Chain A
Amino acid sequence: MKLGVLSADRPLVWMLPLIAMLVAFTIIPLFYNIWLSFHEYAPFKRRLEFVGWENWRLLFSDVRMWEALWTTMFYFGVVLTVELVLGMAIALLLDAEEFGFGVLRTVLTMTLVVPPAIVGMMFLLIEDPEFGVLTFVLDSLGILDKSTPILATGSTALWGVMLADIWQWTPFMVLIFLAGLRSLPPEPYEAAMLDGASPVMTFRRITLPLMSKVIAVAVLIRGIDVFRMFDYVFVMTSGGPGTSTYTLSLYSWQQTFSFIKWGYGATLSLFTLVIILVIANLFIWLAKVRW
């Protein structure tokens, strides 16, 4: 059989458009970014100048970068843990056919399709110091005084942002875990019941191990998005008050587009990329996630 260059029997022909897109929009920009990280914009000369390793040296000595890295890590740890635990709890709760539970599962999917920027606005409104509902609730319960604005106080601002993330994406975990719970085989549970195992024991010894693949995939996908989070902080706090809510993504974006430090911004974004790739691939390897 003769194979033409564009024969449909060649796998490459089928994947050519995909490869073209990936090269044009990931490989080329990646090299451009690396090139950019060795340059810096000189405002008075109005052009890019070669600066060697200067941006990379700056990166590791920049206190704000370390703060942003810490904020990103802290946000990542808290948000991912809360969404995982809360998501599993709610999935276990809703995994039954009680009155209206089908409707409830549908309602939960709604948070996923709201643009994150608009979710940021929603929580900006809810956490407003003058007329926010959450401010009112916390004030009435005596947890947080009205005179302490949630998003304008250094110690609470990041928690205010986390709340938006947790609200929007806990249902993501719930839906995935519910699908996982429903595909579990009934036999181990029947055996556990005959043995008189407690619900906690059944969950730890049967549900968790059987769900491990589903949990790993959900954590991986959510983890990637949490780490590179940008929308909520950009809309809700722009990194403030002070530098308390700067994430790596926001910091590199602002350095590039607000402070015209094109080279340093590119360096920061590359650094973010490297950290994500390392963490994600390490996780894929350790948790043996397969596609």
Chain B
Amino acid sequence: MIVQSRSSRIIRTVVGWTVVAIFAFPLYYWLTVAFKEGNEIFNWPPKVWSFSPTVKNFEEVFGISLGFDFGTKQEVLPGGGDFRMGPRLWDSIVIAVFSTALAVSIATLAGYALSRMNFRGRHHFVAWVLSTRMMPPVAVAIPVFFIYKDIALLDTYTGVILIHALMNLPLAVLLMKSFFDDIPKEIDESALVDGASRWLIFRRIVLPMVKGGMSATAVLCFIFSWTEFLFVLTLTQTGLKTVPVVSSTFVTSTGTAWGNMAALGAAAMIPAFIFIMLVQKHLVRGLTLGSVKQ
């Protein structure tokens, strides 16, 4: 390690804190808006530190919906103006949970085969999966919109869940493959020699060893589904909407409901923050589709 002087260490500490403070500022400011009354949001100069906090925005977005029956479906009112977001949070949760479960299950099976079995064209297969990650969402959303219209999947949970699962598959498959690659192949091979079947080895020996990897993959899939915008925007109409898409309807012709939007946005970030903290150990590996290990 390079020995540094005391003064250079102090400079480094100060610069580091300043840079991160600049990055944290938009989040902080968004949070203050969530707790501000309308007139304080529109203040010039903008109120950054001193304002009288209120939970009115949260009450408007969630208060009414606290006693709301999540089971019944409530339609999205066109043109905004409806700030009860309970049903929209529910939509987001259903879609994120089910698409994650689907993507991780498919990816675990495929990842095992890609990591453990030798077959012709394996390299090409990985390239195909990777190239799916390159497809621009519009190039998928446009044809899928018309196909969904024909087979009545437009504006349904199933339709969005399937497309979110697809969107996460390249990440999930490559990531699961890299977690399987971490486990020595000799374990499988010796069990095979002992006469155990592939499926038994997978279920009883290998699967328990990649649990951590599976939960890391699941968290990333959940977050990408939770934050996805274009597919939900295109493939839903009035039946359901996730939080990011419904936020954009807060911009109405009579003005933007910044306070409500910030309250909803802030609340929607909380589950994602918590989840990402849980998998910090595998975060970089996940973000790089399994190719950079920490």
Contacts and interface: CB of A to CB of B under 8 A. Distances in A.
Interface of A: 8-9, 11-12, 14-15, 17-18, 21-22, 25-26, 28-30, 32-33, 36, 90, 93-94, 96, 98-101, 104, 106-119, 121-126, 130-133, 136, 167, 170-172, 175-176, 178-180, 182-183, 186, 189, 193, 199, 214, 217-218, 221, 224, 227-228, 230-231, 234-235, 248-249, 252-253, 256-257, 262, 265-266, 269-270, 272-273, 276-277, 280-281, 289-291
Interface stretch (B56-64, B76-84, B209-217, B224-232): B224-232
Contacts of B117: 11, 14
A291 B289 contact: yes
Given A26-B132, A249-B138, A113 B198 contact: no
Contacts of A228: 136-138
Given A114-B27, A176-B288, A189-B2, A36 B294 contact: no
A118 B265 contact: yes
Contacts of B275: 113
B280 interface: yes
B113 interface: yes
Contacts of B20: 94, 104, 107-108
A209 B136 CA distance: 31
Contact of A224 (B126, B134, B198, B269): B134
A109 B283 CA distance: 9
A-B complex: 8 closest residue pairs judged by Cβ atoms: A14-B113, A113-B272, A228-B136, A115-B227, A29-B143, A115-B244, A8-B198, A117-B244
B268 interface: yes
Contacts of B146: 32, 36, 262
Interface residues of B, number: 105
B42 A131 contact: yes
B9 A98 contact: yes
Nearest to A117: B244
A156 B148 CA distance: 39
Give the secondary structure class of A's interface.
helix
Contacts of A186: 1
Given A99-B13, A253-B234, A291 B284 contact: no
Contacts of B143: 28-30, 32-33, 36, 266
Contacts of A189: 2
A230 B139 contact: no
Given A111-B27, A122-B26, A176 B280 contact: no
B158 to A, nearest CB: 13
Interface string B36-58: 00000111111010000000000
Nearest to A235: B248
A30 B144 CA distance: 9
Nearest to A7: B198
| Chain B CB within 10 Å, residue with most, of A98, A118, A126 | A118
B245 A117 contact: yes
B139 A101 contact: no
Contacts of A115: 226-229, 243-244, 247, 265, 268
Contacts of B45: 136
B97 interface: no
B17 A104 contact: yes
B270 to A, nearest CB: 10
B9 to A, nearest CB: 6
Given A21-B165, A186-B1, A253-B142, 18 more contacts: A8-B202, A18-B169, A26-B132, A26-B135, A29-B140, A36-B143, A94-B20, A122-B26, A122-B29, A131-B42, A183-B293, A199-B2, A218-B288, A230-B138, A230-B230, A257-B234, A265-B142, A266-B142
Contact of B133 (A17, A36, A199, A224): A224
Interface string B129-171: 1111111111111111111000000000000001101100100
Given A22-B128, A29-B144, A130-B44, A269 B19 contact: no
